[in-house]
Structure 1
Amino acid sequence: MVSYKVFRGTPEGKIVSAEIERELENHEVFIETTHSGVCGTEKLYATSGVVLGHEGVGIIKAVGSGVKNVKVGDRVGFGYTHQICGHCDNCCTDRDQYCRERQIYGFSDFTNGSFSYGAVWDSKTVCQIPDGYDSANAAPLLCAGSTVWTCLNKYGLQSHESVGIIGIGGLGHLAIKLAAAMGNHVVVFSSSENKRQEAMEYGASEFHVYKSGDKAPEGLKPVKHLLLCGSANIDYSGLASIVDYDGTIYPLTAALESTPIPLTELSIKGIRIQGSLVGSRDSVRKLLEFAARNNITPTIMKYSLNEDGIEKALHDLKDGKVRYRAVLIKE
């Protein structure tokens, strides 16, 4: 039996703590949480009562009898995927985030999350953090980083192709850094000039002011791949003008509302819309190694991993004050 403190939201918008007791199954590990990223998805669950957080880093304190891949004392990351079967067709083809028996954040296993002082996780879904890579930098890679990394690596994108990124926030700033490090021509679209300098410093090749629903900026060469990293409520009506023939659009931010899609415009140019969810365990491992090897780090703001710190981080996130990923740290 292990026990640990977790943090939940309430309908009133307050963060409250609770103590959890849980038996450790033979395939599970108990992790003492030290850091957690704060994802925009938390806003969808902040009043639901589930334990929040899916960008965790911590130290393994206990392992089940069947665990062989990690050991007590290992520093690991744990994220959106809580548990997988390990033997279905998706698990066996490096798509385990789509495991047919998966447990994932917000849909199951509601007493586990990275807004906590501990978590019980399927050992198959944790990833070791490379030596020397800061835990505060590793945490945002487990969702934000892995989400954009998967788009850059899993759907046929080539290093000579252009990558467009709409929105410079938690996902967008990492997309710029990673795509630039991979050798792509990175074209950034933002609603104002305010973030031009940062975008160029992060590795952008071009920067354009673009507002949702607008047609392509004058002189723009359409991009082959377009990552939607800003508002989930983007107007798709203008996107066909900034994406090349046979290009791909990747909608990466979550919304509960339906989105109108101009199918005719997209079909005429052969443009695909590619859904994508975080990364597989092997994809996350490769991302962490790539980031450590190339000294790629997210731009973060630090908060305390407690009730006040979580409320402050979520408030700043809602008000657009976070540059560009909030990280909670246990003191």
Structure 2
Amino acid sequence: MTENVITAYAAPTANAPLERTTVPRREVGPRDIVIDIKYAGICHSDIHQAKDEWGGAIFPMVPGHEIAGVVAEVGSEVTRHAVGDRVGVGCMVDSCRECENCRAGLEQHCTGNPGTVMTYNGRHHDGTPTYGGYATQVVVDQDFALRIPESLSLDVAAPLLCAGVTVYSPLSRYGAGPGKRVAVVGLGGLGHMAVQIAHAMGAEVTVLSQSLRKKEDGLKLGADEYRATSDATTFKELAGSFDLIVNTVSADLDLDAYLGLLRAGGTMVQVGAPEKPVSLSVFSLLGGGKSMAGSMIGGIPETQEMLDFCAEHGIGSKIELIEAKDVNEAYERVLAGDVRFRFVIDNATI
């Protein structure tokens, strides 16, 4: 480690409020770049991790894997980025580079040693902990920094590095486009991105939300229809309607009911991560030859593809910009569902 330190907001222990502190900054290697972080999105998974709800937490923890900033320094062998470039960092900062998945551009599914290195709450190859985007700077390998197109403002681009690619990947993989009917379950940080992206791909989009509270927002974002799942008639009237369902919520849903909304051969993709195991009847899959799938972020090539797509179509996250000192309040508001649709930290306030 170097003696360099950076200012950050970190959770000192599980369930403790985040506090302003300093953490070591990784030494800059020949293939590394130093990024002055301008903005960092707050993902619900940051809260899960800071509270150690998924286990294996490393403290002190600096959350943040939706990072947008400007290159401040480059290592001697860097060729992909230059000082002054606008770049982003998502959920991972390294992988083995050699396994079958890494070679296929699926670094998020690395099977080599030490596997995918997460942006925070992980460990670098040398065993030192990774620190995330709630900080003034981050040092990453050039291959894990994405180019942010000039037409995307850095503040609305930051959440794309997780929320954007998390929904872009299954929408792209399962063919959302003209002539396809897509349902998006939930209109939160992930869901509001899924609606915009699926609409831009040319699909007919329906939002399925517990209530109609956000109906106006959903229609403005590009949804063709907005239905309340608390209304029992919704599942009767929409039975067999959709080619693809993207479930963005982490709640324990009646999966059999949602699978009943698929057309024959349709697919339901889970991107939300419920804390407890879920269950369903296999007959919900057998009838109609339907599929249940999962999807986790995207590889580096697909993340760049997503950023370019969003730039081309004028898509950004809908955000509420906050000062770093308000991060604990923002966490409480996320848990209360009081955000439209993503909190983003102005890192100049750190």
Answer whether TM exceeds 0.5 for this pair.
yes
Q: Hey, what does 2:132 align to over in structure 1?
A: 113
- Rounded Cα–Cα distance in structure 2 between residues aligned with 1:108 and 1:132: 32
Other structure's SS at 2:214 match: helix
TM-score of the two chains, using structure 1 as the length reference: 0.93
- Rounded Cα–Cα distance in structure 2 between residues aligned with 1:181 and 1:21: 39
Other structure's SS at 1:90 match: helix
Q: Hey, what does 2:101 align to over in structure 1?
A: 90
Q: Hey, what does 2:8 align to over in structure 1?
A: 6
Distance verdict in 2 for CA 1:222–1:140, change over 3 Å = same
Aligned pairs for 1:1-331 within 5 A: 1=2, 2-9=4-11, 10-16=13-19, 17-48=21-52, 49=59, 50-100=61-111, 101-105=115-119, 108-109=122-123, 110-211=129-230, 216-218=235-237, 220-304=239-323, 306=324, 308-331=325-348
- Quick one: which amino acid aligns to residue 6 of structure 2? Y
* 18-27 or 315-324, which deviates more: 18-27
Deviations 1:130-168 (A, max 9, x none): 113210110010000110100111234443211111101
- Rounded Cα–Cα distance in structure 2 between residues aligned with 1:67 and 1:187: 44
Distance verdict in 2 for CA 1:214–1:118, change over 3 Å = farther
- Rounded Cα–Cα distance in structure 2 between residues aligned with 1:12 and 1:190: 29
Distance verdict in 2 for CA 1:12–1:283, change over 3 Å = closer
- Rounded Cα–Cα distance in structure 2 between residues aligned with 1:235 and 1:217: 14
Distance verdict in 2 for CA 1:219–1:225, change over 3 Å = closer
- Quick one: which amino acid aligns to residue 31 of structure 1? I
- Quick one: which amino acid aligns to residue 163 of structure 1? V
- Rounded Cα–Cα distance in structure 2 between residues aligned with 1:5 and 1:123: 22
- Length, aligned pairs only: 329
Q: Hey, what does 2:55 align to over in structure 1?
A: none
- Structure 2 segments unaligned to the other structure (5+ residues): 53-58, 124-128
Distance verdict in 2 for CA 1:196–1:215, change over 3 Å = closer
Other structure's SS at 2:235 match: coil
Distance verdict in 2 for CA 1:125–1:212, change over 3 Å = farther
- Quick one: which amino acid aligns to residue 91 of structure 1? C
Report the Cα offset of residue 235 of structure 1.
Answer: 2.3
- Rounded Cα–Cα distance in structure 1 between residues aligned with 2:15 and 2:299: 35
Deviations 1:36-67 (A, max 9, x none): 01111112112343220100011122222222
* 30-39 or 150-159, which deviates more: 150-159
- Rounded Cα–Cα distance in structure 2 between residues aligned with 1:77 and 1:106: 15
Other structure's SS at 1:216 match: helix
- Rounded Cα–Cα distance in structure 1 between residues aligned with 2:138 and 2:229: 42
- Rounded Cα–Cα distance in structure 2 between residues aligned with 1:220 and 1:202: 24
Distance verdict in 2 for CA 1:269–1:212, change over 3 Å = farther
- Structure 1 segments unaligned to the other structure (5+ residues): none
Check conservation: 1:215, 1:242, Cα contact below 8 A: no
Report the Cα offset of residue 215 of structure 1.
Answer: 7.1
* 209-218 or 34-43, which deviates more: 209-218
* 40-49 or 163-172, which deviates more: 40-49
Distance verdict in 2 for CA 1:106–1:112, change over 3 Å = closer
Check conservation: 2:227, 2:234, Cα contact below 8 A: no
- Quick one: which amino acid aligns to residue 104 of structure 1? M
- Rounded Cα–Cα distance in structure 2 between residues aligned with 1:300 and 1:21: 28
- Quick one: which amino acid aligns to residue 311 of structure 1? N
- Quick one: which amino acid aligns to residue 277 of structure 1? M
- Quick one: which amino acid aligns to residue 117 of structure 2? Q
TM-score of the two chains, using structure 2 as the length reference: 0.88
Check conservation: 2:249, 2:273, Cα contact below 8 A: no
- Rounded Cα–Cα distance in structure 2 between residues aligned with 1:219 and 1:55: 35
Report the Cα offset of residue 197 of structure 1.
Answer: 1.6
Other structure's SS at 1:41 match: helix
